[in-house]
Each structure stands twice: as C-alpha cells, then as structure tokens.
Chains A and B, each alone.
Chain A
Amino acid sequence: MTVTFAVNEVERVIEADPSETLLEVLRERLGLLGAKRGCNQGVSGACTVLIDGRPMRGCLSLAMNCAGRAITTIEGLAQGDTLAPIQQALVETGAVQCGFCIPGVALTAHALLATNPDPSMDDVREGLAGNLCRCSGYVKLIDAVRRAATARGQR
C-alpha cells in the first residue's frame, strides 16, 4: 500500500505494509537512521520524532496512518551546517554521552521550546519525562534545554 507524508519538509511517497511502524519506514525505507529502537513499546523515547510539530513515538505510529502529516526527524533539525539551538546547547553543555537517546531528546526539547520559549526547570523535567537516558543522570540534558532557551531568546 502507498501512503504520502512529508519528512523534513520533503514529500515522500512510501510503499509499505500497513503493519510497518513509522520508525521502521524511516529507518529501513528512507535511510533516516537517527530515530532508534530502544524498546518498541513506547517507553524508552529513543524513537521519538515530531509529527505535526508534536513529539510522538515512531515505534507506536503506523506509517499508513500518517497520511498528510509532517514528520520531523533529527536529520531535519539543523539548517545545513547550522545546528538548531538545542543541538548547539547539547554540544556546549557536555550533555551527550553515548548519544543513543539524543535524537529523541533533541526533538522533544526543540518542540518544547517552540511552545514554551522560557521553560522553568520543572517545565523542562516534565517535557523530557518521556525520554529515558541511562548515561547522563539528566542533569546536563536539562541544562542544555535551558541554555537553548536562553540562546533562542537572544536571537
């Protein structure tokens, strides 16, 4: 079956079985490997992508059910060589260790800052609540989001 949706602002026509998740389609059909399979149950957050600007689980979304949607993956965050504020902040705070959770975290934080440009510490903790990280203890991830907020505010 065929379904059409936009990925990183480019319309894609996908041939897939209805049982294929968005995560599988992104990774295996479109070669967008940034979204990861952490548990395939929607708990780890490593598969998080933005659908119409909102963070959602790629592993729980069926590609066939995404007709007409706008998907943003981590590959779509930077503008050419210019990193998005959250990506730059992740670089500067030393928040990234193994990096496996980072695409999901960066997209979630990017969406959070779009709707809440000046988040409090609690807003950030709540916003990232669905992104498990086993390396960082969350401290520097939260710092990075707040740093990105400041940087965005300064533009």
Chain B
Amino acid sequence: MTRAMGFHAPVTLDEATALLAADADARCLAGGATLVAMMNAGLVEPSTLVSLRHIDALRGIEPVGDGFRIGAMTTHRETASDARLDGGHAAVREAAAVIANPAVRNMGTMGGSIAFADPAADYPPALVAIEAEIEIAGADGRRRVTAADFFTDWYETALAPGEIVAAIHLPAMPAGARGTYHKLARVAGDFATASVAVVLAMAGDSCCHLRIAIGGCGPTPVRLAEVETRLIGGELDAPAVREAGEMLARAADPVDDARASADYRRLVIPRLLARAIERARAGGAS
C-alpha cells in the first residue's frame, strides 16, 4: 500500500489522545491485528496512525488490591500466561488463551480487541462475567464504564471519537470464586460460534456467587441478572442450569452467518452453559 499517511509514536497517553482529538481520521494502532487487517482489505484508510507502542502507562498487568489493572497494550499472550489471573479472574485468562493462534496472540492487545467489539470475540463475555471496568482516556480526561456498558452494539463501544482504552480493571472476586471461558468454534482459533463465560463461587453445595455472559449470540454479551439471582442459593442442579440456559437463549439475539444459524446458537447456549458451570466448579480449563 502506498498512501501518504502520517505516523506518530507518542510516549505519553496525553500526547496520544491529543493527536487523536486533532484529526478525526486518525486511528490509534495497538497490536495491529485488527486495524492492519482492515487497512489491507481497504476497509479503513486512516489519515494518520498514532502508535501506542511506546506508552508505558498502557503496559503491564498490575495487582490492585485483590484485583488487577491490565494495561490496554497487554498482549493476549501476556494475559494467557499470567498465572496470577486465577480464581474468578481465570475467565479472562482462558479467553486470551483461545484467541486466534500463537502469532496473533503475540501481537494482539486487550485494549485493541475490545475497542473493535467484534461480537464473536473472546474477551467481551469474560469481562462482563468478571464485571470488569474499562478505563477510557480522552483529550478531556479519564472515565470508567463497566464492561457491560462498554459494549454497546455490533462493533460499537462507548468510546467517543478520539478516546482510547487505557486499561481494563478486574475487580476483586468473592472468596473461592472460579471463572472459566468455554468456546464453541468451527475450528481451533476461529471466532466463537457461541461462548460462555462463568464466574461462580460455592459455599459448600450452594452457589453463593454467579455471573454468566454469553458471547457470539448477539450484538453484545448477553447477561441476565435474574438468571443469576435464580441460581444463587441453589445447588446448580442440571434442571435449574438448563432452565437458566434457556432463558439466556431466549434473551440472546443471534444471527445466521457463516459459522452457524441463529437457531443452532440458541439450541447450544444451555448446553454450553452446563459445560462451563461444570468446568468452573472443577477448577477451570485444563
């Protein structure tokens, strides 16, 4: 491709947001896994690229209390291999581990991925189930939104023009919580045909914490607080879980596409949910 395109490599977040605010056709460049693919396909033609590569404030996974702050530029590989992301936080680690393939995981970043908001991507349901918060930086300053509020529609987020994801905050999980991400895909590394993220905690045989989010089955992750409320306090027996899955399937809004039909997705949601819950109770994906 040869186009006269600008390129900046700021070292601070403020510089980056200022550059983006100054030019409506500027795009920020994280790992490139999505943006460059779109440029290659002629789907986007930025006037200027603002590389985030040298901004230290966007890097690293840092413990914050019993939670974590994941810098937007953290690669999927870094997330997938960070053993500190266990317990309930394992859901996001498991999601990172099944994104695409090793080479893309070496390049792609959590911030870049969630900013694109592909409804079949792996982070969104995991972040919703963990009740993560997305820290957003813009020329006017910082703000936070919940993951659920961040993903607004097909390929759309709460980011205003010129804003970028600065970090993803994972809150502390209840004691003994376990999280998992379970994905159904046509081949290894494909986007999710449908996926389930679960974070749960048991007190003996009784469930004391439960968050469920479904991916790949609508414009945004599907979560129903009432499903969770019904199951909390119970033993997560098969009929209750199936009923919950069916409620989620009815709330989902999947489409027919190359991966599967909407009907199939609704059909498998309860089955995937059962698997995910079983897996979370057993301690997560092996």
Contact = CB atoms under 8 A, between A and B. Distances in A.
Contacts of A126: 102
A86 B40 CA distance: 31
Interface residues of B, number: 30
Nearest to A67: B9
A85 interface: no
A19 B42 CA distance: 11
Contact of B49 (A24, A45, A62): A62
Nearest to A16: B2
Contact of A21 (B5, B40, B188): B40
A53 B53 CA distance: 17
A8 interface: no
Contacts, number: 91
Interface stretch (B29-37, B147-155, B206-214): B29-37
Given A45-B101, A62-B32, A57 B107 contact: yes
A108 B103 CA distance: 8
Contact of A55 (B36, B39, B106): B106
A127 B36 CA distance: 23
Nearest to B107: A56
A34 interface: no
A61 B34 CA distance: 10
A55 B32 contact: no
Interface of A: 1, 17-21, 24, 40-42, 45, 48, 51, 54-57, 59-62, 64-65, 67, 108, 126-127, 129-130
